[in-house]
Amino acid sequence: MFLTLLLACDKDVQDSAPTLPPVDVVDMASYLARCEQVLGPMPQIDCQSGTEIAVTVTDEQGTRAVTHSSDLEGGARCDKPSVAGCGWGSRLGVVENDQGTSWIFTCRNYDDDPAFDQLNLIATDPESGQTCFLSTKHRDNDFGAGDAPPRPGSPEDLAWFPDRSYWYTLEDLGRASCLVCHDNDAVLRNPWIEQPGLLPIGAPLGPYEIVAQQALLELNPSDWAYPQDIAHPDAAACTQCHRLGAGRSCDLALRASGQNRGLRTSAMSSYPQSHWMPHLNASQTLQDYPTEDDWKQVFGLAAETLADCCSEAPSEDCFSD
Ligand code: HEC
Ligand code: HEC
């Protein structure tokens, strides 16, 4: 209780402090400075402190952990693939700073070499929705050798490799927009990333603001703009709880409603795993909707509507003007 009060006071002081002029964002160092101005200090990121996210396969012999690509041979697909497939050994960590900002990171492994291949980071304030994105390059096999990551944009970062920095430069981030997929709100969930139970519960209908969006838009005008939200009244059974943007997360929405079973995974291709919304947890789905028909009674119309609104030629009713 005392602690809560103290924190509350702290926040009041911060809120009433004169706001400094925003840092001009011209490179990764100033992007991070702007992020810290809005979200508070970036903590040290340690991949080893993250929790490994399970990758499993299920066959006649039961369910077992994937520990090598050979476990996936012969058409075996993992039960809960990530956006990047069935790579094993990735980790998820969440560090909250004193300002209440969650710094959520994934250290991803894409191959049999246990060294991580990519570090992705989202810093988001659940109240204001202010969000920053940071990343290292994709399939960077020199990454994750145990060194503590340098501060993004620092001289150490820029000199990390002979020919490039450790983290994305601002231009890299501009090019590789995160908003194209992270389009409903900062955090994207699916049955894979949900497993460790670490992701903070956000406010899915609250604000979502991209820090330094203008600087990112200047680098990439189409991909750092918010996609439209699906506003079709017939999709309300889904959109009552959260926005659904018509960006690339539409693919996730179709998967969540059993329509795009994409990777033909062993478990995700049949009910209840194939319908992971509104419950990411399959046993809860079964409890509330014992059969696929029961699910359809409640969400069938919304699911069909999403199929239209996520298509190449959505009907006009999908978006409000
Ligand atoms: C192609 C779509 C796509 C793009 C582009 C994308 N992400 Fe993600 N991201 C996902 C999905 C889907 C998840 C949920 C877990 C999974 O499958 O990996 C996710 C999860 C994450 C997570 C774990 C927290 C969470 O939201 O679940 C982080 C951190 C992350 N992404 C950072 C980034 C950053 C930084 C960028 C841009 C440099 C980026 N992502 C671009 C699709 C994408
Ligand atoms: C009872 C509330 C509820 C309903 C109804 C619901 N969802 Fe969700 N959904 C959630 C919550 C909570 C999350 C996690 C949100 C977050 O991470 O900010 C989520 C996440 C998602 C995600 C992952 C992307 C993201 O932004 O995290 C998708 C896709 C999704 N829902 C689709 C659907 C679809 C399709 C339907 C209708 C079939 C649906 N949802 C119905 C509560 C709901």
Range with lowest mean pLDDT among 34-38, 69-73, 155-159, 213-217: 69-73
- What the block records as the tokens of 32 is 């991070």
Range with lowest mean pLDDT among 31-40, 158-167, 221-230: 158-167
Residue 135 placed within a domain:
yes
**Alpha-carbon distances, residue 253 vs 188, 192, 243, 307 (angstroms):** 11, 15, 11, 9
Residue 132 placed within a domain:
yes
Q: Is the CB of 249 under 6 A from ligand 2?
A: yes
Q: Which residue from 94, 103, 106, 139 has its CB within 8 A of the most atoms of ligand 1, so it is best to mutate?
A: 106
Which of 199, 225, 251 is the endpoint of a domain?
Answer: 225
Q: Are residues 178 and 212 in the same domain?
A: yes
| 279-293 per-position pLDDT tens digit | 999 999 999 999 999
Task: Give the domain range for residue 249.
Answer: 227-321
* Higher per-residue pLDDT: 319 or 142: 319
Which residue bears the tokens 């200047």?
218
| 210-251 per-position pLDDT tens digit | 999 999 999 999 999 999 999 999 999 999 999 999 988 999
Measured from the Cβ of residue 294, the count of other Cβ atoms closer than 10 Å reads 14
Measured from the Cβ of residue 277, the count of other Cβ atoms closer than 10 Å reads 22
For atom 3 of ligand 1, which residue has the closest CA?
181
- Whether residue 265 has pLDDT greater than 70: no
**Ligand 1 binding pocket, CB closer than 6 Å:** 82-83, 104-106, 120-122, 133-135, 176, 178, 180-182, 187-190, 192-193, 199, 248, 252
Q: Are residues 185 and 241 in the same domain?
A: no
Residue 210 placed within a domain:
yes
Which of 192, 225, 258 is the endpoint of a domain?
Answer: 225
Which residues, 6+ apart, have CB-to-CB distance to 248 below 8 Å? 180, 181, 183
Residue 68 placed within a domain:
no
Distance from residue 304's CA to the centre of ligand 1 (Å): 26
The whole-chain average pLDDT of the chain stands at: 89
- The model's pTM is 0.92
Residue 13 placed within a domain:
no
**Alpha-carbon distances, residue 176 vs 20, 166, 206, 218 (angstroms):** 29, 16, 25, 13
Q: Are residues 201 and 260 in the same domain?
A: no
Residue 291 placed within a domain:
yes
Q: Are residues 261 and 193 in the same domain?
A: no
Number of domains, the chain:
2
Which of 225, 255, 273 is the endpoint of a domain?
Answer: 225
| 113-141 per-position pLDDT tens digit | 888 889 999 999 999 999 999 999 876 65
Q: Are residues 232 and 198 in the same domain?
A: no
Q: Are residues 206 and 233 in the same domain?
A: no
